[in-house]
Amino acid sequence: MPLSLEASPLVRQAHGAAARAARAARIRVVDESDLDRLRDVEALLIAVWGTSPHGAPIPTDLLRSISHAGCNVTAAYTEDGTLCGAAAAIVSPGNASMYSLIAGVLPGLADAGVGFALKQHQRSWALARGIETMTWTFDPLVSRNARFNLTKLGAHATEYLENFYGPMDDDINADDQSDRLVAVWPLTSPESVACSEGLPLATVLPDIDPADVRGTGPDGRPNVALSGDALWCRVPTDIVALRTLDPEQAAAWRASVREIFTTEFGRGRSAVGVTRDGWYRLETGGQQ
């Protein structure tokens, strides 16, 4: 990397934060290009998402091409050398931003810090190359991922994409429509720097009076509330299980959340955080 970037305090901070995140998760995080290990990455992604008629989420040959093109394939290994997580991202024209294609962690390790370490490595990788923004899409109904993206990393969302990929028939999406929020992660923002140091954004649902409620979810409980300048929107705690147990209610949640987000984004609100129990905070004048 250029000396000016190497000497940048922000790049040094990102390198240090990534290293600390890896140590905390007791893993080794590296840029991966070895063909055999990329085959292992493909197998890991299949273990997370399953397969569709199109095959693996990202096959080995595509991972190889992404790496060869100078883009990012990140792999995380346990202390005994077992692959436990992986991510891939491409660089947009002009190196203006990175676009994260996929990131996954072996089942059972969701709370071990592996995903956080992967994203901090990607942040460090990007800043070292003068890239200050990363974007990706995520399902707004998967509250755990939403909280990770917006609260733990410091990303925000102002764009809702309806059925972005078309119907998806992998093991997780189960033929649901593929509505997505666009996560924008400003890698140099004070929020993102604080999050990288293990200080996630404080997102706590205030006490809601009945007069604050603006809508009821498909489960019959309040799912939209106004408190001060912030609008709060609740999503299911486990949409993946709900798709199997009650597909009709899952579809109703999709329609409800779609209407709320498209309406509020049109009014200038941004999604800037998610509580542990699945309430989004949407506010005007958030991160841009």
The per-residue pLDDT for range 55-101, each reduced to its tens digit, is 889 999 999 999 999 999 999 999 999 999 999 999 987 778 999 99
Burial of 100 (0-12, 13-18, 19+ CB in 10 A): buried
Start-end of CATH 3.40.630.30 domains in the chain: 3-196
**Helix residue ranges per DSSP H, 89-187:** 114-127, 143-147
Predicted local distance difference test score (pLDDT) of residue 109: 83
Predicted local distance difference test score (pLDDT) of residue 203: 92
3-state class of 177 per DSSP?
coil
* pTM attached to this predicted model: 0.91
Q: Which of 147, 140, 89 is nearest to 116 (CA)?
A: 147
Predicted local distance difference test score (pLDDT) of residue 177: 84
> Which parts of the chain sit beneath pLDDT 50?
1-3, 288
CA 84 to chain centre: 17
Predicted local distance difference test score (pLDDT) of residue 136: 97
Predicted local distance difference test score (pLDDT) of residue 69: 94
3-state class of 128 per DSSP?
coil
Write down the CATH number for the domain with range 3-196.
Answer: 3.40.630.30
For the chain, give the number of residues: 288
Predicted local distance difference test score (pLDDT) of residue 6: 64
